[in-house]
A and B are shown apart, each in its own frame.
Chain A
Amino acid sequence: MSDVTSVPDARGYFGAYGGRFIPEALVAAVEQVADEYEKAKADPAFAAELNTLLKDYTGRPSPLTDVHRFSAEAGGARILLKREDLNHTGSHKINNVLGQALLTRRMGKTRLIAETGAGQHGVATATAAALFGMDCTIYMGEVDTQRQALNVARMRMLGAEVVPVKSGSRTLKDAINEAFRDWVANVDSTHYLFGTVAGPHPFPMMVRDFHRVIGQEARAQVLDRTGKLPDAVVACVGGGSNAMGVFYDFIPDAGVRLIGIEAAGEGVETPKHAATLTKGDPGVLHGSRTYVLQDEDGQTIESHSISAGLDYPGVGPEHAFLKDSGRAEYRPCTDADAMEALRLLSRTEGIIPAIESSHALAGALKLGRELGPDAVILVNLSGRGDKDMHTAAQYFGLLDDSAADAAGGAK
């Protein structure tokens, strides 16, 4: 399995996927990121500072939680949650953001820009900008600013400028387009703090490396807790950062199934889904070759998911590679199944998960029923659901009429 974990090659390819499909104006900046990251990896002071931040600021290691009552609904399989929801800022995103923010300081740049879908990456980036005294602009699709309004307020509270993006599908894909446009124009002062394991090399590798701590911790915690490795590791996949983070250290463990759960929206048999690996084809989007939801002419098809963080028609190239190599499996999960899992974890365990992470939970419920009561399933609970209460309140009808009116407006 060393051939699987040694990727990518020097040109940033994971098998047939990855690479660097970027305009010339960004080549120097992307090369600078790659060079600086290699230097930082070799610098013990960089690792020491990052580890201190992860421990004292983020609150790592994140706990591993046995969820007995939830497990009863999963055919009795033992489900263990890796609690990235308990990180500072409420999701796994902070792991990568702190790493790249330190890198930004090393490069002498003073401004961070980022895209965000659910707002978790934007909040984490705004947080790091505040911590490091940097300027910050976050691009967010207009549709997402409405369905994740709480996170817009959090980013602005932290001092970031939030720009609602009105072009295209007005979701994550278009926020990335706009962030690239900003970067091309302001590259001297600005680092594009890319939030997922997609984009041009070295981002897929670097973002994975910064999230690798999730799987490193979880693998040791599961071994310690159960005396063996899990039968399966389950994570949701939009761009795929939390999944790569939790999968990576399990890749050499051939007996551990790696299962990514994609957003099937209203169903993969309908046009309204975001199941890129299930329904897409290889192409080039946002700087790398990967699976893309695209039409016959190579135009990107608009994705759909109730979860803003998974509502993306591309996916990280390493996932494309793991899919084709057969090392990981990717399954779709509908909006309805994810929302049911969100409600179930809330009611059985007192943990309100993000809608993104709820896709992984729904995948684990199904897998548990397939594997039976002897199975141990590790689920990456990548984020908490506070930001989703507006969507959940509307979906489940949780608010009285007057409160619903006051909450008003959003999708």
Chain B
Amino acid sequence: MTNALLDQTLAAAKAENRAALIGYLPAGFPTVAGAAQAVQALIDGGADVVEIGLPHSDPVLDGATIQTADDIALRGGVRTKDVLETIRTVTAANPTVPVLCMTYWNPVDRYGQARFAADLAAAGGAGCILPDLPVEEADEWLAAAAEQGLATVFVVAPSSRDERLAVITAKGTGFVYAAAVMGVTGTRAQVGDMAEDLVARTRATTELPVCVGLGVSNAVQAAEVAAFADGVIVGSAFVQRILDASSPEAGYAAVRELTAELAQGVRKR
């Protein structure tokens, strides 16, 4: 079972012979009330798909930028119900934009897998990205997500061997998240050479779109990745724009501007 809106959106980008642009921002950032506006700036700037992060106390896969945003969100009192509310606000205003929740596993486990799937679907969410839930531990979640029409996006890494890629892509839906480098989130001067090889090896196992994240922060990099991937995922660069801004409004404007540049980038393959 998958999510029709997500599948259609990625297929539409492919039909335009371009990569999709997928933007990430955490809920609760810069404030609980302001997060939906920040995500709206991504959409207004031209993101095809958005990921809304569920801030976590122990973000072991995130670099300093997203750690800082998660800290701000948690100190601001963000709760799981606020994350779902932000998703609801965004999907209500943008019914044609697929919204995924990206979250570490323990908050979902604590909330209850079936309950989380139901509440995410009720909020209009298209699915989940679960970076620390390996496929071997995912059966209960996959069943709950399928029942609610949610996609489950798994992450693959340059270290994933071919036989394992096949196992992962057989269970995933929506798209495959290919990590461009071995490392945590954050902007990088260069997107790794390993990404193209990983995308090719992943494609050999699945018809799912393969989208690349980790390290992409500008239009030139987005175009590079768009040359070989179905989608380009950007997160830390948006967070950094908001952190650097003199006011929340200036931050949203900066996010909108960067998204527009990246949207140009993914069209130059």
Residues on the B chain within 8 Å of A184, using CB: 61, 182-184
Q: Does more than half of chain B's interface fall in helix, strand or loop, or is it mixed? A: loop
Find the A residue at minimum CB distance from B179.
A25
A72-80, A289-297, A398-406: which one contacts chain B?
A289-297
A16-24, A91-99, A328-336, A357-365: which one contacts chain B?
A16-24
B15-23, B32-40, B160-168, B235-243: which one contacts chain A?
B160-168
Q: How large is the interface on A (under 10, 10 to 19, 20 to 34, 35 or more residues)?
A: 20 to 34
Partner among B59, B160, B179 whose Cβ is within 8 Å of the Cβ of A28: B160
Cα(A188)–Cα(B159), bound, Å: 9
Name which of B58, B109, B136, B160 has the most chain A CB atoms within 10 A of its CB. Answer: B58
Given contacts A294-B110, A298-B111, contact A24 B184 (CB under 8 A): no
Cα(A181)–Cα(B109), bound, Å: 23
Please, what's the 1-or-0 string for B97-125, where 1 marks a CB less than 8 Å from any CB in chain A? 00000000111111100000000000000
Q: Is A168 a contact partner of B58 (Cβ separation < 8 A)?
A: yes
Residues on the B chain within 8 Å of A29, using CB: 159
Q: Is A23 a contact partner of B74 (Cβ separation < 8 A)?
A: no
Chain B contacts with A in 172-187, Cβ cutoff 8 A: 179, 181-184
Cα(A362)–Cα(B142), bound, Å: 47
Q: How large is the interface on B (under 10, 10 to 19, 20 to 34, 35 or more residues)?
A: 35 or more
Cα(A11)–Cα(B135), bound, Å: 13
Partner among B61, B106, B159, B161 whose Cβ is within 8 Å of the Cβ of A298: B106
Residues on the B chain within 8 Å of A286, using CB: 58, 60
Name which of B56, B133, B157 has the most chain A CB atoms within 10 A of its CB. Answer: B157
Is A210 located at the chain interface by the 8 A CB criterion?
A: no
Cα(A53)–Cα(B27), bound, Å: 52
Q: Is B63 a contact partner of A181 (Cβ separation < 8 A)?
A: yes
Find the B residue at minimum CB distance from A283.
B106
Is A187 located at the chain interface by the 8 A CB criterion?
A: yes
Is A173 located at the chain interface by the 8 A CB criterion?
A: yes
Residues on the B chain within 8 Å of A284, using CB: 105-106, 109, 132
Partner among B105, B106, B154 whose Cβ is within 8 Å of the Cβ of A24: B154
Q: Is B58 a contact partner of A177 (Cβ separation < 8 A)?
A: yes
Q: Is B136 a contact partner of A11 (Cβ separation < 8 A)?
A: yes
Q: Is A299 a contact partner of B74 (Cβ separation < 8 A)?
A: yes
Partner among A23, A167, A283, A299 whose Cβ is within 8 Å of the Cβ of B67: A167
Q: Is A21 a contact partner of B110 (Cβ separation < 8 A)?
A: no
Q: Is A24 a contact partner of B156 (Cβ separation < 8 A)?
A: yes
Is B134 located at the chain interface by the 8 A CB criterion?
A: yes
Residues on the A chain within 8 Å of B132, using CB: 21-23, 284
Find the B residue at minimum CB distance from A289.
B109
Is B131 located at the chain interface by the 8 A CB criterion?
A: yes
Residues on the A chain within 8 Å of B183, using CB: 25, 181, 184-185
Residues on the A chain within 8 Å of B161, using CB: 28
Cα(A296)–Cα(B81), bound, Å: 11
Chain B contacts with A in 38-70, Cβ cutoff 8 A: 56-61, 63, 67
Partner among B107, B109, B131, B164 whose Cβ is within 8 Å of the Cβ of A23: B131
Cα(A27)–Cα(B184), bound, Å: 15
Find the B residue at minimum CB distance from A32.
B159
Q: Is B60 a contact partner of A180 (Cβ separation < 8 A)?
A: yes
Is B89 located at the chain interface by the 8 A CB criterion?
A: no
Given contacts A23-B131, A23-B155, contact A294 B106 (CB under 8 A): yes
Cα(A173)–Cα(B56), bound, Å: 13
Given contacts A21-B132, A283-B106, contact A28 B159 (CB under 8 A): yes
Q: How far is the CB of A216 from chain B (nearest CB, A)?
A: 33
Q: How far is the CB of B91 from chain A (nearest CB, A)?
A: 21
Find the A residue at minimum CB distance from B105.
A284
Q: How far is the CB of B79 from chain A (nearest CB, A)?
A: 6
Partner among A21, A187, A298, A300 whose Cβ is within 8 Å of the Cβ of B134: A21
Name which of A27, A28, A173, A188 has the most chain B CB atoms within 10 A of its CB. Answer: A27
Is B80 located at the chain interface by the 8 A CB criterion?
A: yes
Q: Is B182 a contact partner of A185 (Cβ separation < 8 A)?
A: yes
Residues of A within 8 A of B (CB): 11, 19-25, 27-29, 167-168, 173, 177, 180-181, 184-188, 283-286, 292, 294, 296-300
List 15 extra interface pairs beyond A188-B182, A297-B111, A299-B107, CB under 8 A: A23-B157, A24-B157, A24-B160, A25-B182, A25-B183, A27-B164, A167-B71, A168-B71, A181-B60, A186-B182, A284-B109, A286-B58, A296-B110, A300-B58, A300-B106
